[in-house]
Chain A
Amino acid sequence: MITVSGARKSYGDFTALDDVSLEIPPGSLTALLGPSGSGKSTLLRAIAGLETLDSGRVAIAGVDVTGLPPQKRGIGFVFQHYAAFKHMTVRDNVAFGLTIRRRPKAQVRAKVDELLEIVGLEGFQHRYPSQLSGGQRQRMALARALAVDPEVLLLDEPFGALDAKVRADLRRWLRRLHDEVHVTTVLVTHDQEEALDVADRIAVLNKGGIEQVGNPVDLYDRPANDFVMSFLGSVARLGGLLVRPHDIELSRDRAAAVAADRSVPGSPGVIDAVVERVVRLGFEVRVELRAHTGERFAAQLTRAEADALALRPGDEVHARARQTQDVLEVDPALAI
């Protein structure tokens, strides 16, 4: 369990953390999600002790570690650019924390072998980091961080430097690893898909503050405000309201659309629009539209829906929201 209370940090005029309080339950995999400059990395590095807070406290597993250096916090840290020890073999990299602690050689060997097997790098013991791919290097860095049996595992944009395919594989792998190892894990990311994919809890940060904390489904379906809604998943603006693109229904029959719209509370009404472009993205179709008011928006349809409508650029359609998001305007501090 990690408890951060009243954390503040500024660099000159820039406020990185503005009175942030957060509780991370034991055994969870929590993502700190936010755009760059939101303070998510600063928060993680403050938990690790790599950054000192101007004020506020950090406790790990019930112990106040605010004044302790990173060495004494019982953490494992994984950096975006791996921070591999380039002059050491994979084995020596993973063994580093144990060698520092002067553990018996046989014990170190056994532990390293076990970890290399968990991260799928058995047989790579004698390679140097420069002989590994990015994904392999990051798995080595994970094994190295796990070797010292940390109380918490902290990952700073761990997949940020990898290409999309490797990134998707690795985050699913991380999820499975977490289910096996059960160490309290905090992951910093700016990628909402990554957060939704791996985390069981997400804290959304913006401008040095926490906007909302919750499980991924709650955050997607009941965002606390417009920022969380637009940051988690895509949004379209329909008649001045934020709507998920897959909640927009298109119809050629205006009367039917109006009739259906009556049962939707707080709906923006039926919007007349012209199709500008139809983009087929595999199983889904994105339709780009322009409302008669001049506002542009996009609707997301399944292939079957799109085929039934047989849309072409220039066609007149009538758009309505199937449902509207009930944005919870709650105090973010209470959402913990």
Chain B
Amino acid sequence: MKVSTPTRLTLRVVALGYLVVLLLVPVVLILWRTFEPGVGAFLDSVRTPAAISALNLSLLIVAIVVPLNVVFGVGTALALVRGRFRGRGVLQAVVDLPFAVSPIVVGVALIMLWGVGGWFGFVERSGFKVIFGLPGMVIATLFVTLPFVVREVEPVLHEIGTEQEQAAATLGASSWQTFWRITLPAIRWGLTYGVVLTVARALGEFGAVIMVSSGFPGVSQTLTLLVHSRYLDDHNTYGAYAAATLLMGLAVVTLLLMTVLDRKRSTR
């Protein structure tokens, strides 16, 4: 299709303007506000005990959630692609559920399930804190990040098929050896991509986590919760900007990592 020059230019301006106003302006604004008083102020603000604790908690949740998602994600993807069982269609739909359900609903559901009066309330009553503790936040994050590894690994498994695995079997490899030496290396890029998405989502999760966290600064606040409480409860606007910048920094590192890996994948 041939488009006249003025039309083309207008379209470009509209598209770029849309992106700038929607994505770039807010991010730049926060960066500007953060570094306006100088880098020292930023460092001071993210080195308070509450901020360090929040960073640690966020990273701890990521460190627990990623391995669990890798193991169960790969297992689920294998079952979905290779399995021939009843209810495969149902499983397919269930995996996508976290995309459809609002995180805040997840939080409420978790309280109803694990809270003192819930079905699994006996755990809470026996003294093991799930809701308003780390386990609750981990479960909430697991829920919202569950689809990423599955959905990234699944198409790769489809693409590689089963011939390489059959060849390994005829060459004497046990199913365990075949998985480690053939299947896992073949899906490693899809898996990496899934992990990166999981990390980004786990760091940024807010709605589900705020419902199941007690929200004490320095104890049970993740970075997102810290931004929220500094801004709304403490009226510490600058502190909120600084924490947000830290959060963005982590996200940007993850994103860069993903881009580098993606480039590496396409050159191979």
Contacts and interface: CB of A to CB of B under 8 A. Distances in A.
Interface of A: 48, 50, 69-71, 75-77, 79, 81, 83-87, 96-97, 100-101, 141, 144-145, 147-148
A100 B164 contact: no
A84 B188 CA distance: 17
Interface core residue of B168, B172, B173 (most chain A CB under 10 Å): B172
Contacts of B169: 50, 69-71
A148 B167 contact: no
A79 B167 CA distance: 8
B157 to A, nearest CB: 14
B176 to A, nearest CB: 11
Given A50-B166, A83-B166, A148-B172, 15 more contacts: A50-B169, A50-B170, A75-B170, A77-B166, A79-B166, A83-B164, A85-B182, A86-B186, A96-B181, A97-B172, A100-B172, A101-B172, A144-B167, A144-B171, A148-B171
Contacts, number: 56
Interface of B: 163-164, 166-174, 177, 181-182, 185-186, 188
A77 B170 contact: yes
B170 A100 contact: no
Nearest 7 A-B pairs (CB), nearest first? Answer: A97-B171, A83-B167, A77-B170, A83-B163, A87-B185, A70-B169, A70-B170
Nearest to B171: A97
A82 to B, nearest CB: 8
A100 B171 contact: yes
Contact of A85 (B164, B172, B188): B164
B191 to A, nearest CB: 13
A79 B172 contact: no
Contact of B177 (A48, A69, A70, A100): A100
A246 to B, nearest CB: 41
B162 to A, nearest CB: 9
B150 to A, nearest CB: 22
B177 A79 contact: no
Chain B contact residues, majority secondary structure: helix
A148 B169 CA distance: 12
Contacts of B170: 48, 50, 70-71, 75-77, 145
Contacts of B163: 79, 81, 83
B189 to A, nearest CB: 10
B95 to A, nearest CB: 27
21 contacts: A69-B169, A70-B169, A71-B172, A71-B173, A75-B170, A76-B170, A76-B171, A79-B163, A79-B166, A81-B163, A85-B164, A85-B167, A87-B186, A96-B171, A97-B171, A100-B172, A100-B173, A100-B177, A141-B167, A147-B171, A148-B172
A86 B165 CA distance: 12
Contacts of B171: 76, 96-97, 100, 144-145, 147-148
Contacts of A147: 171
Contact of B168 (A86, A87, A96): A96
Nearest to A86: B186
A2 B168 CA distance: 22
A139 B189 CA distance: 28
Interface core residue of B168, B171, B188 (most chain A CB under 10 Å): B171
A79 B163 CA distance: 8
Contacts of A71: 169-170, 172-174
A87 B164 CA distance: 11
A101 B172 CA distance: 8
A89 to B, nearest CB: 13
Contacts of B166: 50, 70, 77, 79, 83
Nearest to A69: B169
Contacts of B182: 85
B177 to A, nearest CB: 6
Contacts of B174: 71
Nearest to B177: A100
B182 to A, nearest CB: 6
Contacts of A148: 171-172
A239 to B, nearest CB: 49
A71 B173 CA distance: 6
Nearest to A130: B268
Interface core residue of A79, A81, A96, A144 (most chain B CB under 10 Å): A96
Nearest to B173: A100
Contacts of A83: 163-164, 166-167
Contacts of A100: 171-173, 177
A97 B177 CA distance: 11
Contacts of B172: 71, 97, 100-101, 148
Nearest to A147: B171
